[in-house]
Amino acid sequence: MDRGEEAAKVLDGVDGGGQTELEDEAWQPTAEFVHEPPVLEVTQPKGSFCQIDARFSVALPPEGVYNIITDPNNRRVFKNIKEVVFRKVLEDDGNRQLVEVEQLGRWRFLMLSGTFSSRVIVEQNRDEKLMLFDLAQQGMMKKFSGSWKIEPMLTSQMSSSTAPRESNAAAATAAAAAGSWVNFQQVIEPAIIPPWPLNGYVRGVTERIIREMLADLQRECLRLSLQTNPSS
């Protein structure tokens, strides 16, 4: 890394130089799920290589879930993040925060493995429990955008993973929240579209990465929930 690159390496709020504690040799993709794994809907919208949508429940109230996904050091939770290369807070008014982040992710599928880099602009809104992200600069990816939206899950909804969305935010806040609904969406398009049949393989790798990431979130939510309510 030359002096120019060193000066550009900003890591606002990131501990340990942005590197994960796990060495590559020690990292393995998620082998099992705490709950039923989230059902992913994989589509191919016009003009995009792949879109993935998911809605699933976790055992933690919305504030706690939101803290996990916005934590600058959440690579400790999401094990496919190898390193945080760059992180700079652009705006922060206490509720809304705009951050530029570059992460080095890793993937493993069958006997193959590798890394990929993505730099995104992330808009966080704590009051709405909403996070939006979009590509800041093209590299390996031409499109890399999406959103997280966290909603309260009421006690009456715990038995149904397909319960309707809460339409009245005030009523949802007033009721006892047993956990959260996580709504996730991501749109991806590589800079170079692989030819058939490799494009199906690349979609499979993408789906697996996201499934493992969501499973990591489920597991962390359960861990924190058991710390708060050890008898549950």
CATH 3.30.530.20 given to domain 34-228: yes
Residue 190 φ then ψ, to 5°: -65, 155
Q: What's residue 191's pLDDT?
A: 84
Reported confidence tier of residue 170, pLDDT bands at 50, 70, 90:
very low
Residue 33 CB contacts under 8 Å (≥ 6 apart), including other chains: 215, 218
Q: Flag whether pLDDT at 163 surpasses 50.
A: no
Question: Where is 103: in which H helix or E strand?
Answer: strand 96-109
Would you give the DSSP letter of residue 162?
T
Reported confidence tier of residue 144, pLDDT bands at 50, 70, 90:
very high
Question: Where is 177: in which H helix or E strand?
Answer: strand 177-190
